[in-house]
C-alpha cells in the first residue's frame, strides 16, 4: 500500500558506459541503398546514434523529468512507477494517461504542459517499461494491468476519474473503464487509419464485413493487406520470441535505438522532437527494460484476459483521418468522434496542443 517518492538518478558510470557502447557500435558493411523497404537505413541510424552519443544531453532530460513528481508503489507484486501532477484547481478531474509500445511515460511530457491546469494527471509506466521493472511474473497483459491501474487510483484517493491512451494504452484504458465502471467517468483513446487497419486484421470476420466494391472498404482492405504483408515483423518476433530479441535490446544501445526509431519514423506524420525520442530510448536503456517491454506483447498475444468492454462514455480522436477509421471501428451511437488531418500514432508528441484540446472537449461534459 505504500507510495514512495521516486527520483531518476542514473549513475554517471552508466551514462559513460552508454556513450562508450555507442562509440564502439559495429556497423555492417555493404548494405544496399534500399530506403526504408528493408528496415532502418544504415546512414539514418548512424547519424541518430552519433547524436545520441555526442549531442543529446541525458542530464538535462533527467532534470526535466524530475520536475514532475514521481512515485512508485507495489501492486499485485509488481513495482509500478508513475508521475502524479496535480492541477492548481483542487476540483479538477483526475485523468490517467497510459502510453503504448514502443514508448514510455516520457511520451506525454509536452501533453502534460497543455493539461496540467485542467486535470490531476496520473501517468504510469506499464509493467515492464522504464521504472515499472523488473517483471518477475508472467501474466502482465491488459486485464491485470487494468486492475492495477484501478487499484492505483483507489490508493491515490480518486473516486471519479477519466482514462486516456493510445496503442497498448488504448486497450488498457478500455479495460479499466470496463473493470472500474463505478469510478471511471469516460474513456478517450487516440488512433489513426493505419493503426485501425492493423487492429482490424486481428478481429474475426472483419474482412467479411467489408465490401470490396465500396471505395472506402476497398482502401481499408488494402491497408489491412499491407499490414499483413509488411507491418507484422516486430509483432511476429515479440509475440513469439521476446527473449531472443531481448538480448539484443539489452546489450546494444544502437540495436535498441533502431528497434524504436523504425516505429517512430514510419508511424508519424508530423515532425516529432528528436530529443524526446532519445529520452525514451535512454529510459529503455538505463532501466534495462527492452526485453520486459517486448514481453508485454507476448503476454497479450497469449492471454484471454482482455477485461470487460467499457460501459462508460467513449471518445475517439483520429489523427491522419480518413473515412476508413470510422468504418473499421464502427463506434456506438453517442461516441465522441473527432478527426484531425495531420498526425498519426504518437499525437502526444506530434500534436500535443490538438490532443489536449480534444481531451478537454470530451471530458468537459462528464465532470
Which residues form the catalytic set? 167, 298, 345
Cα–Cα distance for residue pair 136/138, rounded to 1 Å: 7
For residues 266 and 207, what is the distance between their CA atoms, to the nearest angstrom? 25
Whether the Cβ atoms of residue 312 and residue 362 lie closer than 8 Å to each other? no
Coil vs helix vs strand at 244: helix
In sequence order, what E strands does 230-364 have? 314-319, 336-340
Beta strands in 61-174 (DSSP E): 70-75, 78-85, 93-98, 119-124, 161-166
Q: What is each CA distance from 162 to 150, 282, 341, 351, in whole angstroms? A: 11, 29, 25, 21
C-alpha cell at 268: 508519424
For β-strands 78-85 and 93-98, DSSP reports them as unpaired
Q: Under a CB-based contact definition with an 8 Å cutoff, are residues 362 and 188 in contact?
A: yes
- Supply the DSSP symbol for 30: -
Q: How many CA atoms lie within 13 A of 160 on its CB side?
A: 9
Amino acid at each position: 500500500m505504500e507510495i514512495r517518492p521516486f527520483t531518476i538518478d542514473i549513475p554517471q558510470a552508466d551514462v559513460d558506459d552508454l556513450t562508450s557502447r555507442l562509440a564502439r557500435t559495429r556497423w555492417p558493411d555493404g548494405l544496399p541503398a534500399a530506403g526504408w523497404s528493408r528496415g532502418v537505413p544504415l546512414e539514418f541510424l548512424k547519424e541518430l546514434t552519433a547524436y545520441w552519443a555526442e549531442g543529446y544531453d541525458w542530464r538535462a532530460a533527467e532534470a526535466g523529468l524530475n520536475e514532475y513528481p514521481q512515485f512508485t508503489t507495489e501492486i499485485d507484486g509488481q513495482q509500478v512507477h508513475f508521475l502524479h501532477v496535480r492541477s492548481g484547481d483542487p476540483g479538477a478531474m483526475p485523468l490517467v494517461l497510459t502510453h503504448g509500445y514502443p514508448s514510455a511515460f516520457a511520451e506525454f511530457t509536452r501533453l502534460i504542459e497543455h493539461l496540467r491546469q485542467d486535470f490531476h494527471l496520473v501517468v504510469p509506466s506499464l509493467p515492464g517499461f522504464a521504472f515499472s521493472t523488473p517483471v518477475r511474473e508472467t501474466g502482465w497483459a491488459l486485464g491485470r494491468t487494468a486492475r492495477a491501474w484501478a487499484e492505483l487510483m483507489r490508493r491515490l484517493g480518486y473516486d471519479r476519474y477519466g482514462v486516456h491512451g493510445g496503442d497498448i494504452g488504448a486497450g488498457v484504458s478500455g479495460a479499466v473503464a470496463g473493470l472500474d465502471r463505478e469510478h471511471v467517468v469516460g474513456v478517450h483513446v487516440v488512433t489513426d487509419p493505419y493503426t485501425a487497419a492493423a487492429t482490424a486484421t486481428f478481429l474475426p470476420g472483419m474482412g467479411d464485413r467489408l465490401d470490396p466494391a465500396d471505395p472506402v472498404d476497398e482502401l481499408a482492405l488494402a491497408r489491412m493487406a499491407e499490414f499483413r504483408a509488411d507491418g507484422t515483423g516486430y509483432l511476429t518476433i515479440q509475440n513469439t520470441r521476446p527473449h531472443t530479441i531481448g538480448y539484443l535490446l539489452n546489450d546494444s544501445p544502437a540495436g535498441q535505438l533502431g528497434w524504436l526509431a523504425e516505429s517512430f519514423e514510419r508511424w508519424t506524420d508530423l515532425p516529432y522532437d528528436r530529443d524526446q525520442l532519445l529520452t525514451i530510448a535512454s529510459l529503455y536503456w538505463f532501466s534495462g527494460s527492452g526485453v520486459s517491454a517486448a514481453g508485454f506483447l507476448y503476454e497479450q498475444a497469449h492471454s484471454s484476459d482482455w477485461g470487460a468492454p467499457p460501459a462508460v462514455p467513449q471518445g475517439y480522436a483520429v489523427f491522419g483521418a480518413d473515412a476508413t477509421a470510422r468504418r473499421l471501428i464502427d463506434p456506438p451511437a453517442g461516441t465522441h468522434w473527432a478527426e484531425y488531418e495531420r498526425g498519426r500514432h504518437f499525437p502526444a508528441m506530434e500534436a500535443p496542443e490538438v490532443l489536449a484540446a480534444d481531451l478537454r472537449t470530451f471530458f468537459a461534459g462528464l465532470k
